[in-house]
């Protein structure tokens, strides 16, 4: 039996993509079992594989882990991407929560009701430009180092790169005023494992399209 982690999710970004990113950045190969129908999801539930009857779920080291943050915490700890002490970990957690907040805001736009799309898009752009990106630009400016915490690669650098790429897809002009973040994006993208994950043909998922959204609605009933 393969010793690789096995990721159970729909064949799209969603809440699994940050897990794919972190594993790839750590140089960990993984397999994926895609949920392609309501029956696939129901079987995982009936077999007792989903603690809270929901995905993402990752099989790793003999465990079946649910909940995105719990999975990320385990991977980061296992592969030494979680800082050297409690203070660094606190900063990593704080920065990560902000990154995940904005990531969620941007991701939700693709399933937003049409009558709310304009207002929510405007809010996401405002939060990106005036709240979240300035905060991370300030962190980089404050210590002048290549990484966000401890001057070495941690999980939060990978989360931030993922977010910056989403922002670039969303509206590239939002990055214009943040030279340190643009340099950070280029720097982290050049790391060997990250560079490999960014290449065509990797397990990185493309932006979701209308067909995928419709398929996901049928499976997950949202």
- Was 55 annotated as part of a binding site? yes
Is 132 annotated among the ligand-binding residues?
no
Q: Which of 76, 56, 74, 78 is nearest to 66 (CA)?
A: 56
- What sections of 35-178 are H helices per DSSP? 38-46, 68-78, 86-107, 114-127, 133-143, 155-171
> Whole-angstrom Cα distance, residue 158 to residue 187?
11
222 three-state secondary structure:
coil
The C-alpha atoms of residue 155 and residue 163 are separated, in whole angstroms, by 13
Q: Please tell me whether residue 23 adopts helix, strand or coil conformation.
A: helix
Residue 125 assigned to a binding site: no
Is 45 assigned a ligand-binding role in the annotation? yes
Known binding-site positions for glutathione: 9, 45, 54-55, 67-68
Known binding-site positions: 9, 45, 54-55, 67-68
């Amino acid at each position: 039996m393969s010793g690789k982690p096995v990721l159970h999710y729909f064949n799209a970004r969603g809440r699994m993509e940050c897990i794919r990113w972190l594993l790839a950045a750590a140089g960990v190969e993984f397999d994926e079992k895609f949920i392609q129908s309501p029956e696939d999801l129901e079987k995982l539930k009936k077999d007792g594989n989903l603690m809270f009857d929901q995905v993402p779920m990752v099989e790793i080291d003999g465990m079946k882990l649910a909940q995105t943050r719990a999975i990320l915490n385990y991977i980061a700890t296992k592969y030494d991407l979680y800082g050297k002490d409690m203070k660094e970990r606190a900063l990593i957690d704080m920065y990560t929560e902000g990154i995940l907040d904005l990531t969620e805001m941007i991701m939700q736009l693709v399933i937003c009701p049409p009558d709310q799309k304009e207002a929510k898009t405007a809010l996401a752009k405002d939060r990106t430009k005036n709240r979240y990106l300035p905060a991370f630009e300030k962190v980089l400016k404050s210590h002048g180092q290549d990484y966000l915490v401890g001057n070495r690669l941690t999980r939060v650098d990978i989360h931030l790169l993922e977010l910056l790429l989403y922002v670039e897809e969303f509206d590239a002009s939002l990055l214009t005023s943040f030279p340190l973040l643009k340099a950070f994006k280029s720097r982290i993208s050049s790391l060997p494992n990250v560079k490999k994950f960014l290449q065509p043909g990797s397990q990185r998922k493309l932006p979701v399209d209308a067909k995928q959204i419709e398929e996901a609605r049928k499976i997950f009933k949202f």
